[in-house]
Structures are given as structure tokens and as C-alpha cells.
Amino acid sequence: MPRVSRAKAGFSVWAGVVFVFLYLPIAVMALFAFNKPSEAALVGFQGTDWCALPPDKIGNVSVWNGFTTCWFSAGLHDPSYVPAIITSAEIAALAAIIATCLGLCAALALARMKTKIRAPFDVLVYLTLVVPEIVVAVASLIFFVQLRNHVPFFPQLGFWTILIGQVVFNASLAMLVIRARFVGMGDTLEEAAYDLGSGPVSTFRQVTFPRLMPAIVASALLSFTFSFDDYVLPAFTNGTTNTWPIVLYSAVRFGITPAVNALATIMLALTAVAVIAVALVLRRSRSRTTSAPDAVGSSLGGMIGF
Amino acid sequence: MTLAPGDVAFDVEFRGITKRFGPLVAVNRVDLQVNKGEFLSLLGPSGCGKTTSLRMIAGFEQPDEGELLIGGTDAVGVPPYRRNVNTVFQSYALFPHMSVIDNVAYGLKQRGTGKAERIRLSGEALELVQLTGRQDHRPSMLSGGQQQRVALARALVMHPQVLLLDEPLGALDLKLRKEMQVELKRIQEQVGITFIYVTHDQEEALSMSDRVAVMSNGVIEQLDEPRVIYDNPRTSFVAEFIGDMNFLSGVVTEKVGGQFIVDAGGGVVIRGHGAASRGSSVRVGIRPERMTALPGSPEQQANSAKATVLSKMYLGDQIQISVSLANGQRIIVREQRASANPVLDVVYSGDEVLVSWDDKAPLLLEQTVPLQSSAEAEQYTPSEEAAVHASTEES
Ligand SMILES: Nc1ncnc2c1ncn2[C@@H]1O[C@H](COP(=O)(O)OP(=O)(O)OP(=O)(O)O)[C@@H](O)[C@H]1O
Ligand SMILES: [Mg+2]
């Protein structure tokens, strides 16, 4: 018995170390959202709002100088930050929805195709994932510009072209995630449903779709995250539209203030609230019968990791 | 030949059905007629086409040739969800995301049965399979035998014209299997639905069925009542597949009335009943329990042969010896130990015995009418050839 409990204690400590390693940087990031500008920078400062200092005048903020909450209002009032976040969130949400729908359709179609017909489609899907993003970005830029020259109603570089780029990548990803589960499911359940008198549509609705739900949720979340923080592709195809990563990267050149930390902390808090809310809803529906909450719950649990 | 609908003799009828997978012929010109309310088993070794036949009835596969009638109407091309046939799958195929009661009620829901009625009927079906009180559990929380019952209830609640069962007891341990066999038979008699039951377990097929279809390589070798299948196998394949069988080969030397006499070499002469033509090479089967062995070596005559005991084995209620005949052939003799004085008790390996049988025991299984030389008479004939011989013999 003591050996077992010692081993258990060892594992607990190890798990603790891993979690610290994973989450300490985030905690530090959140903590420094409350950091004051350095004493030296505040010497001779006249106004009431320390956080109104220009980025290059706030001194060393990588050490703890004291507590303030002014960065939150500074971040939220910054003329470029919040709109960029909203743009990014809009693109990510749309991309997640469209890519998951496309991925679902492609997964259903490809999984049951003959290998010979399927092979070329598979190659295309894998290509969008393995070709370096910078190559795709350059190609997309040239393609969009050329296309607009020939097709006048094609949108200008901006929101829509970023979205198209995101959808292409994420649809491939969603396809792979959903197809893996679909193939793993086998077709006996669908056959059982047919056997019991439900036609193709109601079989899909009552059996296939609920069984695929965990994969669908997972690929939607993955797509959202991937496109929310993607930099390379939007940087090439954004035109005059700014996404949050683009704004951040350009801000780095002038020096980042703790206002960025403040916004990241807000986003973190919103995400945590959303995930907890979803988990609660799912737990409640677990007692009901027509969804697959346990599987969704566990894959959601996995998603919280990043 | 065709009967008016409503006045149909058969629940399921195969007319010359062939199913191919690429070059492989899984089901080969099969004719089959399943009577109303009957318990019919499809029995055969792995890969002989049992599941494929069942899947054609269910509608998951379409025959390449031939006609398939369900309840007297053509079923080719009718999708599974429009057939009045339900399946109990080998892997159960319960919906893991639904509770037991929702699984059972699934089919009724598709039919548009009202909720209260659905619950009532499903509850009854669960009672029929003796699984109550687990209604709200997920299938994954049930044992194998319980899942099997849910699968059965889910199909039975539909009151199909025909219930198809694909090795439904395959995943259960021996004891539970025996219990479920009795249960299944009881349920079938209670609900009176036609059961088509696939299995590769001969005991299961023989004990439960009204009729058994023995399949091999995509053809039905024999379709008969279990007793007939055992007592009168028509082909070598059936003889060998069902129970144990001693085979003796030889040439027909005489044919008198309904009797034949075969010289199997080494002074072994077999006399039996059957239509064999003189000079042809035949294969004769004799069940081990139809043979007796006597110690000592009296005169050898027709239907008896001198033999040397090679080994002896106790099989619980039976004694079995393996002997070598004068012609070098090895055969098995079996005796019930319940008989007052088991002869084989005092027989040991190396002893000389006289093996004998009565003239009803030899079963004429194959016959080759000689073309030039019939040296292959001794040779083991593969089973598909046996089928060909058997059918030519009949016509
Ligand atoms: N979808 C398929 N594609 C190709 N070949 C198939 C397919 N289904 C069955 N077969 C082949 O058809 C033959 C008959 O298969 P079937 O499943 O009917 O055998 P079975 O009698 O049910 O065997 P078992 O007792 O092992 O279940 C086998 O040789 C099998 O390999
Ligand atoms: Mg099978």
C-alpha cells in the first residue's frame, strides 16, 4: 500500500509541475496587466492617468512596479485594438461555421467513396495542410488580385479574402477530424437505423449527426482558434482590414504596453466563462437522451488545454 | 408458380439468387423457401455466404441475379427501411447515445407511433426478453447478454414479418449461450414470427431450428429438418460438417434391388441401402455411434471388419476408440457408457477387435461413374465437387 500511495503522490506532483509549466506564463501575463509604469517614467508626470503615457515612455514594465487597473480602460479605449479583436472574432466565427459545414459534407462524401476516386481529393486536402502557409499566402494574394481584375464583383482584399483563406485551411482540418470519427463509427449503426424503418434523412438526424457531434464541436473550436490567431495569411490578404494579430505584431515595433495584457486577460476570462457555461449546459443535458454529451464534454475538456 | 398476394405460402423466397463481390461468388444460384412462422437456420463454415444471404433479405445488399420475394412480393431494389423485416445484428448495433428504452422505441418512433403507446409497447418487449428495470441506462452500462436482449427487443417490438438473426449469441459465453438459446426458442414460439437464424454452431442450429439449411461455398448443400440432416446427410460436406463421420471409399461390386455392396479393400466389405450403379466409385459414411467393436477376431464378413485399436478416450458419458482397419483406414467407434456392460471398457490399444455395423448405417455420399480408370476413388473429394455429384445423382 505505501508503495502505491507514494507512486500516486509522485504522479500528483508531476501533474502539478506540468500544470504550472503550462499555466504560469498565462498567470504572469494576467498579473502584469495590473502593473504600473516604472517610478522613473512617472517622475515629472502631471496627469491623472498613468496609462496615457506613450508606449516608449512607460519605462521597464517587465518588473513589478505596483498595482493599477488603468490598462484595462486604456486597452478598451485604444482606437485600433478593440475593432481589430472584433474583426478577428467575426472572421474566426464565420470561418469556423463555414469550414465545419464544408468539412462535414466532405467527410461524409469522401469516407464512402471508392479509394480510386477518393485519392485525388485526399491529396488536395492534405496539400492545403502541408504546404507552408507563407506559400499559400503569396499564392492567395496573387490569386485574389488577379481574380478581381477579371471578375469585377469579387471582393477587394479585406475581410472577405481573409475569410476565404481561413475557410480553405480549416475546412481541410475539419474534414480530417470529422472523417476520422465517421470512419471509426462504422456503418452498422446506420444500417440498424435503416433496418428499423428510418430513411436516409432521419437516420442522419437521429443517429449519424449525434454520433458525429463531438467531432463537429471539436473541429469548430479548432477552426475558431486557428483562424483567430492566424497571422501569415491575413497579413498578405488583408488589404486595409486589420485583424488582432496584425495589430499586435505592428504594435510590437513601437513597444507593447500592459494594455495588451489587459485585453488578453479579458479574452481569457470570456473564454473561460464560455467554456464553463457550455460544460454546464452539456452536463445538464446528459440526463436527457438524444445527444452525445459525455463525448462532447470530454473533447471540450481537451480543448480547454489550449 | 406465382401465387396471388395474401395467399402466400412463403415468408421469404429465393429464386436462383446469385451475389458476387468482384470475382468472388458469395451466394451462388440459391433457391430457398422459408415457411411462415418457421425457425430456419443457415448453418455453415466461415465465409460460406450466410451473412450475405441475410443481408439480401434485410435489403443491405442487392442480388446480382435471381428473384427475392418477401411475403410473396418482389423485394429486389426495395430499401431496408421499407421492408417489413428486422435484424438482430451480431454486434448488437445498439445506439450508444440513447437509453435502453429509446433504443427499443426507435423503430416505433419512425413509424409515427404516439409517445405513450411507444413506451408501453417497448416496456412489453423488454418484459418479453426479461429485461426490466434497466430502461434508462445507456447500452454501454449493460452486460453482453443484456445488450443482446435489448437488440432482440428492439427488433421484436416492430412485429416484423421475418426476424433475421446474425449469430446473435456469438459474443456470449457458453452457459449464457445455452440459456439464451432456450429463451430465443421460447420467444419465437410465443410471438410466432418467422426467424431466420445464422450460425456456424451446429449444435445451436440442430437444437433450435425447425429446419436447417447447411451452406458451403455459396450454395445450400441440404435443407431439411435437423434429424434428417443428421441421419441422412446427402453430401460428404454435410456428413462431415454435422457431427463426426467415418468415411470409407471403394468400388461397387454388386447391386441387388435397393442394396449395394462395396469393396473397400483389405477385405472390408460394406453392404448398405441406396442407389449405386455397379462399377462406380463411391464414398460411404458411417457414424461412430452406429458401429460396435467386439474384442477378439472372429470371422470377417460383410459389414464387419478386423481392426487394431490405436487409442482409447473417455468422453464423459461415452467411450471412443480409434482403430485401424485391415485396409489401413483409420476410423472411430463410439459407445455409450450407460449400456449395462460397456464392451470398450476392457479394450486396450494394440488389441484386435471386430468392428461391425448394421446395413442401415452406411450412408451413400458420393458416386463417380468411371470414365477410364477410377484410381482416384481412394482420394478425398473436395466438397464443392461433392455438391455437383449429389445434384447430378438426383436428376
Ligand atoms: N462487402 C463485401 N465485399 C467483398 N467481399 C465480401 C463482402 N461481404 C462478404 N464478402 C465475401 O463474401 C463471402 C461470404 O461472406 P459472408 O459474410 O456471407 O460469410 P459468412 O457465411 O457470414 O461467414 P462468417 O461465419 O465468417 O460470418 C466471403 O468470402 C466474404 O469475404
Ligand atoms: Mg457472417
pLDDT tens by residue, B266-305: 888 899 988 888 888 999 999 999 998 888 766 667 788 8
Give dist(CA A302, CA B281) in Å, integer: 73
- Tell which one of B14, B18, B46, B51 to mutate to probe ligand 1, the residue whose CB is within 8 A of the most ligand atoms: B51
Which residue, B204, B237, B270, sits at the end of a domain?
B237
CATH (residue range A81-303): 1.10.3720.10
User: What pLDDT does residue B383 have?
Assistant: 42
- Tell which one of B18, B19, B50 to mutate to probe ligand 1, the residue whose CB is within 8 A of the most ligand atoms: B50
CATH number at residue B232: 3.40.50.300
A252 or B381, which is more confident? A252
For range B21-49, the mean pLDDT: 94
Name the residue with the closest Cα to ligand 1, atom 19: B47
pLDDT tens by residue, A228-241: 989 999 999 998 89
- Complex prediction ipTM: 0.79
User: What pLDDT does residue B229 have?
Assistant: 93
Which residue, B217, B237, B257, sits at the end of a domain?
B237
User: What pLDDT does residue B391 have?
Assistant: 40
pLDDT tens by residue, B70-87: 998 999 989 999 999 999
Q: Could you tell me if B87 lies within 8 Å of chain A, comparing CB atoms?
A: yes
Which chain A residues are Cβ-neighbours of B22 within 8 angstroms?
Answer: none
A189 or B9, which is more confident? A189
User: What pLDDT does residue A184 have?
Assistant: 87
Q: How is chain A split into domains, by residue range? A: 2-76, 81-303
Which chain B residues are Cβ-neighbours of A203 within 8 angstroms?
Answer: 81
B239 pLDDT higher than 50? yes
pLDDT tens by residue, B105-119: 999 999 999 999 999
C-alpha distance from residue B42 to each of A277, A289, B195, B211 (Å): 54, 37, 11, 9
User: What pLDDT does residue B172 have?
Assistant: 81
Q: How many angstroms is it from B110 CA to the middle of ligand 2?
A: 28
User: What pLDDT does residue B171 have?
Assistant: 78
Grouping H, G, I as helix, E, B as strand and the rest as coil, residue B249 is strand
For range B37-52, the mean pLDDT: 94
User: What pLDDT does residue B151 have?
Assistant: 94
Same domain, B190 and B309: no
Cβ(A239)–Cβ(A165) below 8 Å? no
Counted across chains A and B, CB pairs separated by less than 8 A come out at 67
Q: What is the DSSP letter of A152?
A: T
Same domain, B207 and B266: no
Q: How many angstroms is it from B385 CA to the middle of ligand 2?
A: 24
Same domain, B233 and B250: no
Residue for grid cell 475557410: A167
Q: From the centroid of its chain, how far is CA A61?
A: 29
Mutate to test the interface with A, among B78, B86, B106, B164 (most CBs of A within 10 A): B106
Q: How many angstroms is it from B50 CA to the middle of ligand 2?
A: 6
Give dist(CA B162, CA B3) in Å, integer: 19
CATH number at residue B262: 2.40.50.140
What is the grid cell recorded at B74? Answer: 418482389
Same domain, B82 and B34: yes
Residue for grid cell 480543448: A303
Same domain, B261 and B278: yes
Cβ(A215)–Cβ(A181) below 8 Å? yes
Pocket of ligand 1 (CB under 6 A): B 21, 24, 26, 44, 46-52, 200
Which chain B residues are Cβ-neighbours of A211 within 8 angstroms?
Answer: 96-97
Give dist(CA B211, CA B37) in Å, integer: 12
Residues 6+ apart with CB under 8 A from B66: B14, B15, B16, B17, B18, B29, B30
pTM of the model: 0.78
CB atoms A194 and B110 under 8 Å: no
Same domain, B187 and B224: yes
Q: Give the closest-approach CA distance of A21 to chain B in angstroms.
A: 37
Q: Could you tell me if B113 lies within 8 Å of chain A, comparing CB atoms?
A: no
Which chain B residues are Cβ-neighbours of A288 within 8 angstroms?
Answer: none
Q: Give the closest-approach CA distance of B136 to chain A in angstroms.
A: 9
The ligand minimizing its distance to the Cα of B42 is 1
- Tell me how many domains chain B contains: 2
Same domain, B175 and B225: yes
Which chain A residues are Cβ-neighbours of B95 within 8 angstroms?
Answer: 189, 192-193, 207
Mutual angle of helices B115-128 and B100-111, in 10-degree steps: 130
Q: How many angstroms is it from B46 CA to the middle of ligand 1?
A: 8
Cβ(A294)–Cβ(A211) below 8 Å? no
Cβ(A218)–Cβ(A175) below 8 Å? no
Identify which of A188, A196, A289 has the shortest CB distance to residue B91: A188
What are the two backbone dihedrals, phi and then psi, of residue B4, each rounded to the nearest 5 degrees?
-70, 145
Same domain, B148 and B252: no
Which residue, B183, B214, B237, sits at the end of a domain?
B237
Q: Could you tell me if B79 lies within 8 Å of chain A, comparing CB atoms?
A: yes
Grouping H, G, I as helix, E, B as strand and the rest as coil, residue B367 is strand
Q: Could you tell me if B152 lies within 8 Å of chain A, comparing CB atoms?
A: no
Same domain, B126 and B86: yes
With a cut of 70, list the residues of chain A below it in pLDDT: 1-2, 284-306
The ligand minimizing its distance to the Cα of B43 is 1
Chain B residue nearest residue A286, CA to CA: B97
For range B349-368, the mean pLDDT: 88
Q: Could you tell me if B45 lies within 8 Å of chain A, comparing CB atoms?
A: no
Cβ(B109)–Cβ(B121) below 8 Å? no
pLDDT tens by residue, A35-50: 888 888 887 777 777 7
Cβ(B63)–Cβ(B18) below 8 Å? yes
Same domain, B145 and B250: no
Cβ(B169)–Cβ(B181) below 8 Å? yes
The parent domain of residue B346 ranges over: 245-394
Q: Give the closest-approach CA distance of A298 to chain B in angstroms.
A: 15
What is the grid cell recorded at B210? Answer: 425447425
Cβ(A202)–Cβ(B110) below 8 Å? yes
Give dist(CA B248, CA B307) in Å, integer: 14
User: What pLDDT does residue B297 have?
Assistant: 62
Burial label, A303 (beta-carbon count in 10 A; 0-12, 13-18, 19+): middle
Same domain, B327 and B223: no
B384 pLDDT higher than 60? no
Picking from B275, B86, B274, the residue whose alpha carbon sits closest to that of residue A194 is: B86
Which is it for the CA torsion A153, A158, A164, A165, positive or negative? positive
User: What pLDDT does residue A239 have?
Assistant: 87
Q: Could you tell me if B154 lies within 8 Å of chain A, comparing CB atoms?
A: yes
Q: How many residues does chain A have?
A: 306
Same domain, B233 and B258: no
